[in-house]
Structure 1
Amino acid sequence: MASMFKLFGALGVAVTLAACGASPGERAATGALAGAAAAELTGEDAVTGALVGGAIGGIAPCVTNPNARGCY
């Protein structure tokens, strides 16, 4: 149960930090760092966490707002 709380806390931080950055590349880098940290907190593979976090950070803001700065 404690790892579930860690996971949701880490995901909350990751989503918040992934919104930072002016370009999709910056958001992907921030998401990758947050994803790796979240994976380490939950005992998962950091590389997989970085890949997932980077994908979410780079793409998600442009999906929700295609007219956002840096989205093409």
Structure 2
Amino acid sequence: MKRLAIALFVAAALTSVAACGTTRSEKAATGAVAGAVVAGPVGAVVGGVAGAALAKPK
């Protein structure tokens, strides 16, 4: 059950990061908001890091 929850969280974070934002900071912010909705403060940190890491530098 714990693995399923983690997988759903990662999928939701990656989907939201891909869907919105054009710059690295926008993608990080989108990831942080999505993470906060899904998993609270810890999710916000993880989502922000994931958004920043997955954004393509220009």
- Letter in structure 1 aligned against 2:21: G
Query: Match for residue 9 of structure 2?
Result: 10
Report the TM-score, using the length of structure 1 for normalisation: 0.63
Higher share in helix: 2
| 5+ long unaligned stretches in structure 2 | none
| 5+ long unaligned stretches in structure 1 | 40-45, 63-70
Match of 1:55 among 25, 49, 52: 49
What is the aligned length? 57
CA RMSD across the alignment: 1.7
Report the TM-score, using the length of structure 2 for normalisation: 0.74
Where does structure 1 differ by over 4 angstroms across 4 or more consecutive aligned residues? none
Mapped partners of 1:8, 1:37: distance in 2: 15
